[in-house]
Amino acid sequence: MTNAVEIRTVTKVFGTFTALHGVSLSIQDNEFFTLLGPSGCGKTTLLRMMAGFEEVTQGEILLFGQNIAALEPNQRPVNTVFQQYALFPHMSVIDNVAFGLKMKGWPLEKRRIRAGEMLEMVHLSDFANRAPAQLSGGQQQRVALARALAPQPKVLLLDEPLSALDLKLRQAMRMELKQLQSETGITFIFVTHDQEEALTMSNRIAVMSAGHVQQIGTPRDIYESPNNRFVADFIGETNLIEVEVEAVADGQAQVVLPGGHRITTSSAARDKGRHHLSIRPERVTLGSPGVGLQAVVEQVIYLGTDLQVLVRLEGGTAMQVRLQNAARITVPSPGDAVGLHLEEGAARLLSD
The model's pLDDT over 131-187, given as tens digits with 9 standing for 90+, comes to 999 988 888 888 888 898 888 899 999 998 887 777 887 888 888 889 889 988 999
% of the chain surpassing 70 pLDDT: 100
Distance between CA atoms of 292 and 265, rounded to whole angstroms?
16
pLDDT band at 253; cut points 50, 70, 90: confident
Cβ atoms 10, 18 nearer than 8 A: no
pLDDT at position 50 = 95
Q: Name which residue leads in pLDDT, 21 or 345.
A: 21
Cβ atoms 321, 237 nearer than 8 A: no
For the chain, how big is the Rg over CA atoms in Å?
Answer: 24
pLDDT at position 250 = 86
Helix (H) or strand (E) holding 205: strand 204-209
Task: Name the phi and psi angles at 39, rounded to 5.
Answer: -60, 135
Distance between CA atoms of 115 and 99, rounded to whole angstroms?
9
| Mean pLDDT on 309-331 | 87
| Mean pLDDT on 228-239 | 92
pTM for the structure as a whole: 0.89
pLDDT at position 1 = 74
| Mean pLDDT on 268-296 | 88
pLDDT at position 78 = 92
DSSP letter at 116 equals: H
pLDDT at position 96 = 92
Write out pLDDT tens, residues 19-52: 999 999 999 999 999 999 999 999 999 999 999 9
Cβ atoms 32, 56 nearer than 8 A: no
Least confident of 57-61, 149-153, 294-298: 149-153
**Mean pLDDT of the chain, nearest integer:** 90
What is the tally of helices (H) and strands (E) in the chain?
Answer: 8, 20
pLDDT at position 330 = 80
Distance between CA atoms of 109 and 89, rounded to whole angstroms?
23
